[in-house]
Each structure stands twice: as structure tokens, then as C-alpha cells.
Chains A and B, each alone.
Chain A
Amino acid sequence: MSTVEAPAKSRAQIKERTLRKDNWRLYPLTTFVIFTAWVVYATVRAFWGSAFYVPEYHYLTPFYSPCLNDICGNVVGQTGQEGSAAEFGTFLPESTRGWIPFAAISLPFLLLFRLTCYYYRKAYYRSFWASPSACAVREPHGKYTGERRFPLIGQNLHRYFWVAAVLISLINTYDAIRAFHGKDGGFGIGLGTLVLVANVVLLWLYTLSCHSCRHIVGGRLKNFSKHPFRYRMWGWVSAINQRHGMYALITLGSLVVADAYVALVAGGAFSDPRIFN
């Protein structure tokens, strides 16, 4: 049987980069602004080296957890009360303040976790690299090789940064539990406690909704019926995974809110409204 071959043809020559009429620039532009602002804020705060702990209520900002500088061992609060944020020891001498973040162990992993995250990849490929800026919008690059070569092949290590993020989330959880601390030394709740707890809950939602987590808990299986518990866990993770991008963005905000709150209270800008003790 003979078939008629389609004659050699070329694509429609349309000179416009895109014929889209909707506001497709909004997403890459807002993402660019939000991410840039966040990175600037986080960098400044990570190297700031003060206003990170409220000894009266045990409030420690997530940007300084675990706090590993010698300075963390003796923090003086606004009321003159002394306290220690160094729950996991200190190995950074005081002289490193200003050029090594106090949370030197956790911050690089958290950065790499978010940098290799499937949601963030989409967001920064679109907004920072214009690859592409939006769907059906011609990208400006002459060549494209994807995630097959160094350094982008390193995106494949996401699952290890996820493990690190789980461990750090456990530390953040411990910090939030410590924040249930009252003026008289016993149990207490303040607005700061609620801020830190809300931040930790959101961090867990972001961490557990990760695509690598979804793969590890059950996605890698071929037969769900043989692993009913893992199938159930996969179902839970899949449910929150649908909003992974939303949690990624919300936690950017919640981290800034938690950090700024602790910084303002620690710096004496206002006192923490207490709910109990």
C-alpha cells in the first residue's frame, strides 16, 4: 500500500513573539519582584547578627535556627533578661559575625531545597531566565539544553535537600514548642508564639507536599494494592501536593513575618502582646 508523503513544509512564519493579548507579563514580573525582594531581605537578615532572639519568651527567628555562633549562647533581652538560643551548641566564633550566618548549617540546605524545588524551578525559569516567560511566548535564547548538563543536572539532587529540609523543619518545630514560654519561666503564650507555630505548620505543609516526598512515600511503587499504607500516605501527600506552589509562596511570606516579628520584639520596637503569662 502506498502512502502519500506530506511535502516538505515549513512552519507558519509569524514574526510576532506572541499573539497573546492577555496580561502574560504579570506572572513573571510579580514573581521576579517577590523573589528578588525576598532574597535581599533574607540575605540582609541572615548576615545581620542581632535582633534574632527574645530571651524572655524563647522566640528564635527561623533565619537563625539552629543558632551556632558563640553570640547565641548569651543574648540579653530588652528587659535585661539573659538567655541562650544555642540549643545545638556553638562552633562559630563571635568574630565570624557579619560574614557567616549564625545558621550556617541549615541556611545553605534550605536555599538548595527551594532552588531545586519543582515549583520554584518553574517560577524562576519563567521569571528570571525567560525560558519561557509565559506559555506560547517565544523565548529569547538561541539554544536550549534543558536540565541535562552541569549545573542544572544538579536539580536531580532535590530529594536529598528535601531530607535536610525535614530535619530542619523538626528543629523549627522544637523552636516553636520552646516559644510556649511565659515571663515567669513557666508555660506561656504570646502573639509571637502563634506566629512561630503558624510558620512551622506552613513549613511542614510546604515540605511534605514536595514532589520528591510524594515519590518517596509511594509514588515510586508500581503496585499500590500491595502497599495499602504507603498508598494512603501517597494519597495524603498528593492532596497537599496540588497546592505545593501556593505553600511555597505562603512560606516565603510566613518566614519573613516570623523573622520580622521576632526582630521587632527583640529590637524593642514593641512588646509582645501576651495571651497567657
Chain B
Amino acid sequence: MSYEAKFKVWRGDDGDGELTDYTVEVNEGEVVLDIIHRLQATQAPDLAVRWNCKAGKCGSCSAEVNGMPRLLCMTRMSTFEPDETVTVTPVRTFPVIRDLVTDVSYNYQKAREIPSFDPGDAKPGELRMQQVDVERSQEFRKCIECFLCQNVCHVIRDHDENKEEYAGPRFLMRIGELEMHPADQADRRNIAQDDHGLGFCNITKCCTEVCPEHIKITDNALIPMKERVVGRKYDPVVWLGSKLGIVKKGQDTPSA
């Protein structure tokens, strides 16, 4: 069964633009990205959209559908009523290059700032880990870097000025992944708070809500990291213990 759907697609570049109306054919089983492609093929050949795998695994086609951050390729048209107008806009947190394509280089900059895995003195091939020790980190490795969590996080979405000090949920999760890694020797708690802005997070869980890989970012990465930071920086008993020499201090990681 096919029908004609009403679409509003944001068109423009350098921030200036507007929602443009389209009426376009929709067929059974299609996703929003299919409709965008049909628009390109039939009505708007210059419409810019970034996409790659069409399988929810490359993280390229991030956008906002009816105001919610989503992957275009994983948003089924069957979730909308046939008479509903579907609005597609670029992600709001990052600058627009053109139409639905945004410049996400902020994320690559933040990725570079995180000190990499530190195996200590272990040589390649020497590390042995059990499954139970790496399970927590493995959950975070499911991340496809679509940056929807970065986009939805109000810390930078609504306050661009915080971008300097805040790495965003995806990269705080990366720090958590390394901090929980059984073979990583570094203590990343100070840099998580001081250099990457974990304290900005007020755990409103939007990152978890929009994650297409269903990673429990808040419960399994951000809150455990907050608790670890408390143990390092804010726990008076730990502070006293370290002063008395009972609690061993970990070696802090210098930030990149």
C-alpha cells in the first residue's frame, strides 16, 4: 500500500534556512531515509543528506524527525499516521553545512582529547582478561558514533558556550569505558571531572533515551563515573584515609 505523505524538510546552509513543504510517495516498509532519497530523485536533486549503511550501524544519517533526534534509516514510516506531516531537520547542536548535513567535527576534537588506553608495563600479547571483567566496557563499544546523544544533551544543545569544557555523553562514556577496563592502569577520575566536564551532567537521561544502540549511557557509564569521581574528589572519608595513608592514591592521568 502506498500513499502520499506530507513532509517538511529544513533546507538551507550556514544556519539560514527554512522548512520546505513536500508531498511525496511512501510505500509499505519504508523508512524516513527512503523518503528523503525519493525526494532527491524526484523533486529536490540538490537536497543534501549524509548516509551510508542504511542499517543503523554507521551512524551517518543522524537528524531530527518530528523534533526527536533519530537515525533516518531506523525511523519507520509506519510509526506515523498517513495524514501526519513529518518534519525533518538537521541535528541542532552542530553547525549546518547544508540542508540535513552538519559539521560534527566537535566530536572528533573531543575524541582526540581523551588519553588513550594505558596498559602500563604490559607488552603486547601479555594481557589476559576474563569475560566478566570486560562486559561493562563491551556495552560501550556498541556505540556507532551517530552523536545523537551529543546532539540531545542540553548542556551543549542549549548552551553552546559549554562546548569548550564539556566532552558530552559519548566521550564521558569513553572515559568510563577505560576507567572500568581491567587492564587500564590510569586513574581517569580527575580528568573526567576537571577536563571533560562530568560535573555538567545532571543525569536527565536524554542520551540514553535517544541511543539507537540502546546503551544505558546514564546508568552504566555516567552515574558509575560520577560515583568514582566522588570517591576520588568529594568523599571526606576517602580524603581522610588518603591523608592517613590507609587509602592508596591512584596515579592521575594528564589530560591530552
Residues of chain A having any CB pair with chain B under 8 Å:
6-14, 18-22, 118, 121-122, 125-126, 131-132, 135-136, 138-139, 141, 143-148, 152-153, 156-159, 211-212, 214-215, 219-220, 222-225, 231, 241-242
Q: Which residue of A lies closest to B194 (CB)?
A: A148
Answer whether residue B47 sits at the interface, using C-beta atoms and an 8 A cutoff. Answer: no
Residues of A within 8 A of B154 (CB): 131-132, 139, 144
Q: Are the CB atoms of B89 and A231 closer together than 8 Å?
A: no
* CA A12 to CA B48, docked complex, whole Å: 14
Q: Are the CB atoms of A132 and B206 closer together than 8 Å?
A: yes
Q: Are the CB atoms of A222 and B199 closer together than 8 Å?
A: no
Of residues 85 through 142 on chain B, the ones whose CB sits less than 8 Å from some CB of chain A are 87, 89-90, 92-97, 102-103, 105, 130, 132-133
Q: Are the CB atoms of A13 and B234 closer together than 8 Å?
A: no
Answer whether residue B12 sits at the interface, using C-beta atoms and an 8 A cutoff. Answer: yes
Residues of A within 8 A of B200 (CB): 144-148
Residues of A within 8 A of B180 (CB): 222
Answer whether residue B235 sits at the interface, using C-beta atoms and an 8 A cutoff. Answer: yes
Residues of B within 8 A of A159 (CB): 227, 230, 235
Instruction: Given A12-B12, A147-B201, A147-B202, verify A136-B69 contact (CB < 8 Å).
Output: yes
* CA A118 to CA B223, docked complex, whole Å: 8
Q: Which residue of A lies closest to B69 (CB)?
A: A136
Q: Can you list 22 A-B contacts with CB-CB less than 8 angstroms, sorted by A residue number?
A: A6-B103, A7-B97, A9-B14, A10-B15, A12-B12, A12-B17, A12-B102, A14-B92, A20-B66, A21-B66, A121-B203, A132-B154, A144-B154, A144-B158, A147-B200, A153-B199, A156-B234, A156-B235, A214-B224, A225-B130, A231-B132, A242-B219
Residues of A within 8 A of B195 (CB): none
Q: Are the CB atoms of A19 and B89 closer together than 8 Å?
A: yes
Q: Are the CB atoms of B201 and A146 closer together than 8 Å?
A: yes
* CA A138 to CA B133, docked complex, whole Å: 39
Query: A22-B66, A122-B205, A220-B228 are known contacts; what are 4 more A-B pairs with Cβ within 8 Å?
Result: A18-B67, A19-B87, A118-B203, A146-B199
Most buried by B among A20, A146, A152: A146
Residues of A within 8 A of B103 (CB): 6, 9
Most buried by A among B16, B152, B204, B229: B204
Most buried by B among A121, A135, A224: A135
Q: How large is the interface on B (under 10, 10 to 19, 20 to 34, 35 or more residues)?
A: 35 or more
* CA A147 to CA B222, docked complex, whole Å: 13
Say how far A6's CB is from chain B's closest CB, in angstroms. Answer: 4
0/1 per residue, B18-32, Cβ < 8 Å to A?
Answer: 000000000000000
Most buried by B among A8, A136, A146, A241: A136
Q: Are the CB atoms of A132 and B158 closer together than 8 Å?
A: yes
Q: Which residue of B lies closest to A14 (CB)?
A: B89
* Cβ-closest 3 pairs across A and B: A19-B67, A10-B15, A20-B67
